[in-house]
């Protein structure tokens, strides 16, 4: 398997969807599931940001004026379905389906045309940039795909090659809480169950340690180790593994410095 990562940068006023992210830089979206075939694309996406930005995105997706995955000037007339399946303050989880018409030149359609079936896609939007990550069976057709992307670009868009290699990103994304050592996993699950992470807390660290029949220092150590792993796994998605390690290490140094240890 191979991993192909590239980015599309957007000028202001060339794409109504990306304009929302440009005008509200704190807004961020990331697909959490995506399936692409010759017939269409199904995607589950999580979006976070101020309510004014989320409301604008709802309007754009409800009545799209153009294909949101197309980067050219061609008209792409497709069937479109969009539904918010989870709505919280500052967050949405949305499902979308778009058929692939024969004349559609969306990025997923171009990927299938040049590298074949079996492509997994993931996107992340923030500011003026949309990053695409493709998981491919091989390198075959990647050069042709990138050339097609460059040829398709309409004015105001820029494509940049980022990475082609072993699927490090997708391997990192596969981590789950079950990969923690059993004692750390049990500590985190108990902390959530008993309300240790609520504000205000339902239970103190000492009370939680008594419920688990371990010393306070042991429980604190297990939670700190688990929290560091969880934070690193989270920030790796947008910062990369090296930067994530540095950020977690710096956070640890600051905590030690404040404690005077």
Rounded mean pLDDT for each run of 10 residues along the chain, 261 residues in total = 94 94 94 80 90 93 76 76 89 87 75 87 93 91 94 94 84 62 89 93 96 95 90 63 49 49 38
pLDDT at 244: 45
Q: Is the peptide bond before 200 cis (omega within 30 degrees of 0)?
A: yes
Count other Cβ atoms within 10 Å, centred on residue 206.
12
What Rg do the C-alpha atoms of the chain give, in angstroms?
22
Taking the domains of the chain in order of start, what are their residue ranges? 2-172, 175-259
Please report the pLDDT score of residue 253 as a whole number.
53
pLDDT at position 11 is: 97
pLDDT at position 64 is 65
Angstrom distance (rounded) from CA 83 to CA 88: 14
Give the CATH number of domain 175-259. Answer: 1.10.10
Token pair recorded at residue 214: 């371990």
Phi/psi-derived region of residue 33, left when phi > 0, alpha when psi is between -120 and 50, beta in every other case: beta
Residue 32 is predicted with a pLDDT of: 81
- The residue length of the chain stands at 261
Q: HSE-up of 12 (CA within 13 Å, CB side)?
A: 4
SS (H, E, C) the chain: CEEEEEEEEECCCCCHHHHHHHHCCCCEEEEEEEEECCCEEEEEEEEECCHHHHHHHHHHHHCCCCCCCECCCCCCCCCEEEEEEEEECCEEEEEEEEECCCCCCEHHHHHHHHHCCCCEEEEEEECCEEEEEEEECCCCCHHHHHHHHHHHCCCCEEEEEEEEECCHHHHHHCCCHHHCCHHHHHHHHHHHHCCCCCCCCCCCHHHHHHHHCCCHHHHHHHHHHHHHHHHHHHHHHHHCHHHHHHHHHHHHHHHHHHHCC
d(CA 80, CA 68): 11
Measured distance CA(156)–CA(12) in Å, rounded: 8
According to the model, what pLDDT value does residue 211 have?
94
């Amino acid at each position: 398997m191979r991993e192909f990562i590239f980015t599309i940068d957007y000028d202001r006023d060339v794409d109504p969807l990306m304009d929302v992210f440009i005008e509200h830089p704190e807004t961020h979206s990331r697909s959490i599931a995506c399936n692409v075939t010759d017939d269409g694309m199904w995607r589950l996406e999580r979006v976070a940001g101020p309510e004014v930005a989320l409301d604008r995105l709802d309007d754009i997706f409800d009545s799209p004026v153009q294909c949101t995955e197309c980067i050219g000037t061609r008209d792409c007339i497709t069937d479109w379905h969009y539904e918010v399946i989870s709505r919280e303050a500052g967050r949405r989880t949305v499902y979308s389906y778009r058929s692939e018409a024969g004349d559609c030149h969306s990025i997923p359609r171009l990927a299938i045309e040049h590298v074949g079936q079996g492509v997994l896609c993931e996107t992340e939007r923030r500011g003026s940039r949309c990053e695409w990550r493709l998981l491919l069976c091989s390198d075959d057709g990647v050069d042709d795909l990138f050339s097609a992307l460059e040829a398709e670009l309409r004015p105001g868009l820029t494509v940049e090659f980022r990475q082609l290699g072993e699927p490090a990103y997708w391997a990192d994304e596969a981590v789950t809480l079950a990969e923690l050592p059993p004692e750390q996993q049990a500590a985190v699950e108990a902390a959530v169950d008993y309300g240790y992470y609520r504000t205000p807390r339902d239970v103190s660290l000492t009370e939680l340690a008594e419920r688990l029949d371990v010393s306070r220092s042991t429980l604190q150590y297990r939670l700190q180790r688990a929290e560091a792993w969880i934070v690193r796994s989270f920030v790796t998605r947008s910062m990369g593994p090296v930067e994530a390690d540095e950020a977690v290490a710096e956070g640890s140094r600051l905590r030690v410095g404040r404690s005077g240890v």
